[in-house]
Chain A
Amino acid sequence: MPEAVPLSAVVVVALITLLGGIGALCTSRLSSTVVSVLVVVVGSAGLGLATQGPALAILLLVGGMGLLLPVAAGVVVVDLDGRPPRTLRPWRLLMLLPVVLTGFVLWPLPLAVVSRTTSSSPTSDAALLALLALASAGPAVLLLARRREAA
C-alpha cells in the first residue's frame, strides 16, 4: 500500500475518470471516443497508484494503452470514422510508428512486474507473455495489411 493519499484528490481523479467514461459513451465521433477512453486509462492508472502503488499503476497504464492501441490504429489507419477511406500516406505511417514500437517494447513490462510480485508459476507467466505478444502484433498487422492494399 502506498503512502497516504488525500481522499479528496483520489475522489477528483475518480470523477475525471468517470467523466471520461461518460464522454466515451456519449460522443458520436470515434476519434473523440478514443480520446475519452485515453482519459479513462490515465485516470485508472492514477487510481491504481493511489490504491496499490506503482505496480497496479503501470499495469493499468501500459495495459490500457495496449488495449487502446488496436482500436486507435483501426480508427487512424482504416479510417472508419464516417468518412470515405483514404489512401494511406507515408507521414501517417511515420506518425503511427512510434506508437506501435512503444506498444511492442512496453507491453511485457507490467506483466513482468506483476508476475515477479504475485506468481510463482512460470508456465502461466509464459502463457500470458505469449498472449501479450499476440495482442501487440495486431497494430503491426493492420498497418502492413493497409500498406499492401495502398501499394
Chain B
Amino acid sequence: MNVVGVGVGTGLLLLGLGLAMLLLRRSLLAVALGAQLGTLGLALAAGSQGKLAAAAVLVVAGAAVALVVVGAAVAVHRRRGADHVDELRELRG
C-alpha cells in the first residue's frame, strides 16, 4: 500500500458513502450533500492518480448539480413546507 493507493481507496469509499446518502436520506439538501460527497470522492480518486483536469471537471459539474438540487429544495419547501423526497409524488404512475 502506498500514498496514492490510500488516496484512491479513500476517494472510492467516499463515493460509496455519497451514494448511500443519496439513497438513504430523506431531505433534498442531504441528498445534495450526498452527491457532493460522491463527487468529491471521485475527484480525489482521479486527482490522486494525476488526472487533475478530470478532477476539476468533476468538481465543477458537482457544483452545478448542487445548485439545481438546492434550487429544487427551496422551491419544494416553499410550496409544501417540507423538502422530503418521498413526498414528491406528482410523476408517480
Contacts and interface: CB of A to CB of B under 8 A. Distances in A.
Interface string B1-20: 11110110111011001101
Nearest to A63: B59
B60 A128 contact: yes
Interface band, chain A = 35 or more
Contacts of B44: 44, 47-48, 60
A67 to B, nearest CB: 4
A97 B24 CA distance: 33
28 contacts: A10-B7, A14-B9, A18-B17, A21-B17, A24-B37, A25-B20, A30-B30, A30-B33, A34-B33, A37-B33, A47-B44, A48-B47, A51-B3, A51-B4, A56-B52, A59-B55, A60-B44, A67-B39, A67-B62, A68-B36, A70-B70, A78-B74, A110-B59, A114-B52, A114-B56, A115-B53, A128-B57, A131-B63
Interface band, chain B = 35 or more
A37 B31 CA distance: 12
B28 to A, nearest CB: 8
Interface string B57-91: 10111111011001101100100000100000000
A142 to B, nearest CB: 7
Interface of B: 1-4, 6-7, 9-11, 13-14, 17-18, 20-21, 24-25, 27, 29-30, 32-34, 36-37, 39-41, 43-44, 47-48, 50, 52-53, 55-57, 59-64, 66-67, 70-71, 73-74, 77, 83
